[in-house]
Structure 1
Amino acid sequence: MQPIKVHVIPAGPNPWKPVLILEELGVPYELNSFSFEAVKQKPFIDINPNGRAPAIEDPNTGLTLWETGAIILYIIEQYDTKKILSYDSLKEKHLSQQWLAFQISGQGPYFGQAGWFNALHPEKLPSAIERYNNELKRILGVLDGALDGQQWLVPGDKMTYADLAFTVWNDRIDALIFCAPDKKFEGFPNVQVWHERMTSRPAWKKIMDTRAQLMDEQGLQPNGMPKGINSFQEYEAMMKAKAAGTP
């Protein structure tokens, strides 16, 4: 089997979702890592005209694909033949798809907007910050309730791709809403135990080590801030200067 090429921006959460699935399944892959500035430029927009990472190119089937949900479902259908991370049974199969859809439509967008308005938007908008911080916590509440009394989102005896799809955004909550790392799951104990169960696995540790290496190569710290920036205040000042065209 030839390795699947995965195009990633290492700082972004979404590219690591399919990478984690591939790693858990033991499917060979290679990473094409590039900076955020290149995502809306050629040659990448010839692969994904939407200008977002990730995208994959699978030489085994000749398929090029973008959008994480589509990529994950493709990987599962094509390569999880032993049903390591999925089910064949009607109920469990569709519940897995349901939770993946919730991650794509709920967790990802709301968590992303929380991060944007807390950290990146040039103007502080308290109403927007409050809205998306509350939405982030609402999503955690949905997950916490679903996990009450069970280990995984889909009732059964194993972790699925649907569980794994939530890990990367959940892992960054402290950076999104500026809370202490040990407080990011405060009030959501089921989510915390579930998240720790997945991030203690070798596949997670391996891809996060890879991410750290790629971030270092791009002059970025693990939290996404450029090297030499030691606080959010410094980062905010840098972003303001950049927006104003000040060197």
Structure 2
Amino acid sequence: MPKPIRIWLAPPGPNPWKVIIVLEELQIPYEITSIRFENIKAKPFIDLNPNGRVPAIEDPNTGLTLWETGAIILYLIEQYDTEKKLTYDTVVERNRLNQWLMFQVSGQGPYYGQATWFQVLHSEKIPSAINRYVEEAKRVCGVLEGSLAGKKWLVGDKITFADLAFVPWNDRLDAVLMCEGEKKFEGFPLVKAWHESMISRPSWKKAMEIRAKLMDIQGLAWNGMPKGVSNMEEYVEKIKKDAEAAGK
């Protein structure tokens, strides 16, 4: 049995949970170090990831410290998925999996993230920016919808790390599009069925139970803001006041 991998995360954002569900699916032992948003660009975390983004992992089994979710997922698959549970060992399928993972980290994540920022977190509503990123989020869904035609999974005949990587951001598509939850996949029935088949898995349910507990410990609302704070400017001001009160 390998030693537990330490995963550093801040609970609100989607990206750490991509790694958690892969760890859960592969039953890799892990330990969580949960930090607050205001500490991801401060020591000790900044020493692990100079880019100041979560997650990052420390693997005592290999001595490797690694950040960026795409790199972490590929590492976990290569190092620990010896039974090829979430991957394939054939050239075509393996590279197609990598292709979809790259699309997730370069397409879905950034566009959904910017849509969420301008819809929810930014204090000023800028219609042109909101429209730009909302339309890009819908375009990403359209790419997935077309690619799922006639099949259940993105590659091959089983769930893989490529499918799982899309779950955390798709799960909050209603916040991205600012629509009712039951309407978030409107026009994308194949994406809806694909997503629902994955969030019913024990790995996702376990990840969301952990997230809920960590969010509650930090006193955070669903959108990652402290309860009673409505946008990022208010959050930054609160962080500043809290630091002054603590004499920092």
Partner of 1:85: 86
* CA-CA distance at 1:151 after TM superposition: 0.3
1:183 aligns with 2:178: no
Compute the displacement of 1:167 (Å): 0.1
**What is aligned with 1:102?**
103
- In the alignment, the residues of structure 2 paired with residue 105 and residue 135 of structure 1 have an alpha-carbon distance, to the nearest angstrom, of 12
Does the 8 Å contact 2:121/2:230 carry over to 1? no
Q: In the TM superposition, what is the alpha-carbon distance from 1:174 to its structure 2 partner?
A: 1.1
* Counterparts of 1:122 and 1:240, CA distance in 2: 11
List 4+ stretches of structure 1 deviating above 6 A: none
Read off the aligned partner of 2:78 and give its amino acid letter: E
Does 1:29 pair with 2:33? no
User: How far off its partner does 1:101 sit?
Assistant: 0.3
Task: Check the 8 A contact 2:70/2:101 in 1, yes or no.
Answer: yes
Does residue 194 in structure 1 map to residue 189 in structure 2? no
Q: Which amino acid aligns with 1:201?
A: R
Indicate conservation of the 8 Å contact 1:4/1:29, yes or no: yes
Q: Quick check: 1:185–1:192 contact (8 Å CA) kept in 2?
A: yes
Rounded Cα–Cα distance in structure 2 between residues aligned with 1:27 and 1:59? 13
Aligned to 2:77: 76
Instruction: Find the counterpart in structure 1 of residue 216 from structure 2.
Output: 216
Cα gap change, 1:116/1:238 in structure 2, threshold over 3 Å: closer, same or farther? closer
| Paired amino acid for 2:213 | Q
Q: For 1:5-84, what aligned pairs fall within 5 Å after superposition?
A: 5-84=6-85
Shift of residue 157, structure 1, vs aligned partner: 1.9
Identity of aligned residues (%): 62
Q: Which residue of 2 aligns with 1:162?
A: 162
Amino acid at match of 1:23: E
Q: Report the TM-score when normalising by structure 1.
A: 0.93
1:238, distance to aligned residue in structure 2 (A): 7.6
Deviation sequence 1:155-176 (CA, Å, 0-9, x none):
x221000000000000011122
Name the amino acid aligned to 1:239: E
Structure 2: gaps (5+ residues): 243-248
Q: Which SS does the other structure have where 1:17 is aligned?
A: helix
Alpha-carbon separation, structure 1, partners of 2:77 and 2:232: 44
Query: Does the 8 Å contact 1:122/1:240 carry over to 2?
Result: no
Q: Is the 8 A contact 2:225 2:235 kept in 1?
A: no
Shift of 1:237: 10
Contact 1:11 1:215 in 2 (8 A): yes
Residue 4 of structure 1: aligned partner: 5
CA-to-partner distance for each residue in 1:30-69, whole Å, 9 max, x for gaps? 1000100000001110000000000000000000000000
TM superposition score normalised by structure 2: 0.92
Q: 1:55 to 1:236 in 2, by over 3 A?
A: closer
Contact 2:87-2:160 at 8 Å conserved across structures: yes
Q: Cα deviations across residues 91-115 of structure 1 (Å, max 9, x unaligned)?
A: 1000000000000100000000000
